Every structure is written in structure tokens, then in C-alpha cells.
Homo-oligomer: A and B are copies of this chain.
Amino acid sequence: MILLRSHIGSALRASRVLQGRTLRDVAKSARVSLGYLSEVERGQKEASSELLLAICNALDISLSEILNNVAITVRISEAPALKVVEDAA
């Protein structure tokens, strides 16, 4: 099952890691708890739209950038060719 929160979490984590920043730093900047941000990044919690925006602002990336990245990874997950590979594994 392709879950949006997993893809959003991965995109947020990728942006943070790319910037060499810690969970603590970004959580503080976004005014969310470290545990919350960690759960969102791991796709274990749905980020509310407000907090997603706060996290994007803390990462200095636009929501549309994250969504573009997410749309691409979701599209790849949906691709039948990849499903065949997954099924064969």
C-alpha cells in the first residue's frame, strides 16, 4: 500500500540530511517536538498541514518542492515494472 505519509516523511528526512542538520535542530526551528518530527520522518505519524508547513519552513524549502519530490517517489512506487521486480524478489 502506497502511503502518502511515508513518502512525505522520506522527502523531509532527505532534505534535512542533505542539509546536514539534526532532528533536534529542525524540530526546534519548526517548534515541534523531536519525537513528533522523528515519527513524521519515519512515516509513523500523519503531519497536520500546519505542522508540515512549519517543518518545510524550518528546512527552508517550499511545500511544492516537497510535493514534487513526493509525487515522483509515489509515481515510481506505482509503476507496474517495479511491482514485477518486487513480486519476483
Contact = CB atoms under 8 A, between A and B. Distances in A.
Q: How many copies does the complex hold?
A: 2
Interface in A1-55: 1-6, 46, 48-50, 52-53
Contacts of A63: 2, 4, 74, 78
A70 interface: yes
A12 B85 CA distance: 31
A67 interface: yes
A71 interface: yes
Interface string A49-75: 110110000000011100110110011
Leading 5 A-B pairs by shortest Cβ distance:
A67-B71, A64-B75, A3-B49, A4-B49, A64-B74
